[in-house]
């Protein structure tokens, strides 16, 4: 059963109180982030229903948001998620080649996770860092001006960090 800690429930309350009475749905995005961080990096149906019950809104209202934004994972993901931008400016600067290189290097397709559970590859829309194209989000950070060599370095760095 998914359940926030008392401290996290306090945090949810703080977020809800940022908005006028009856507008607790406005807290949905940050609360979904908290749920994703807390419940293993992804949002199960149980987690989505839990968030709906906390915010006293209909589950469908949570599903609509969670399925719209690529930042929410609706199935289990690896420890490291490569979210490669594929919108125009990044595409012009070679994001297709970067995605292909990641696929070949890791032996996975888009929305797949390596067998060791380390890496997931996703493609996403513009992340607002077009001036640094091609780029991807990795956790809370951006990796910019990507090249195949840079990707190799990132993969090696993360494998070393994970002890693989
Ligand atoms: S197009 Fe890739 S960050 Fe904007």
For 95-152, how does the pLDDT look when each residue is reduced to its tens digit (9 = 90+)?
A: 999 999 999 999 999 999 999 999 999 999 999 999 999 999 999 999 999 999 999 9
Domain end among 45, 68, 91: 68
Say which residues have a Cβ less than 8 Å from residue 105's Cβ, sequence separation at least 6. 151, 152, 155
| Cα 95 to middle of ligand 1, angstroms | 10
**Is the residue at 1 inside a domain?**
no
Instruction: Give me the pLDDT at residue 116, please.
Output: 96
* CB-CB contact of 47 with 35 (8 Å): yes
Distance between CA atoms of residues 131 and 8, nearest Å: 36
**Is the residue at 11 inside a domain?**
yes
My answer on whether 49 and 114 are in the same domain is: no
My answer on whether 158 and 93 are in the same domain is: yes
Residue 16's domain is classified under what CATH number? 1.10.10
Residue 109's domain is classified under what CATH number? 3.40.30.10
Query: Does residue 91's CB lie within 6 angstroms of at least one atom of ligand 1?
Result: no
My answer on whether 107 and 152 are in the same domain is: yes
Residue span of the structural domain in which 142 resides: 80-162
Does the pTM of the predicted model rise above 0.75? yes
Domain end among 47, 68, 89: 68
The atom of ligand 1 lying closest to the CA of 132 is 3
């Amino acid at each position: 059963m998914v359940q926030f800690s008392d401290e996290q429930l306090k945090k949810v309350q703080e977020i809800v109180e940022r908005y006028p009475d009856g507008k607790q749905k406005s807290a949905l995005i940050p609360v979904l982030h908290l749920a994703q961080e807390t419940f293993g990096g992804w949002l199960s149906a149980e987690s989505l229903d839990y968030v709906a019950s906390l915010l006293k809104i209909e589950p469908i209202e949570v599903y609509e948001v969670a399925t719209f934004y690529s930042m929410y994972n609706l199935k289990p993901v690896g420890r490291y998620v490569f979210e490669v931008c594929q919108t125009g400016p990044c595409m012009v600067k070679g994001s297709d080649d970067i995605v292909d290189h990641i696929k070949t290097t890791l032996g996975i397709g888009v929305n797949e996770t390596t067998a060791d559970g380390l890496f997931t590859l996703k493609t996403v829309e513009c992340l607002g860092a077009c001036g640094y194209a091609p780029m991807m989000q990795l956790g809370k950070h951006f990796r910019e001006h990507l090249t195949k060599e840079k990707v190799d370095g990132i993969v090696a760095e993360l494998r070393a960090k994970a002890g693989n």
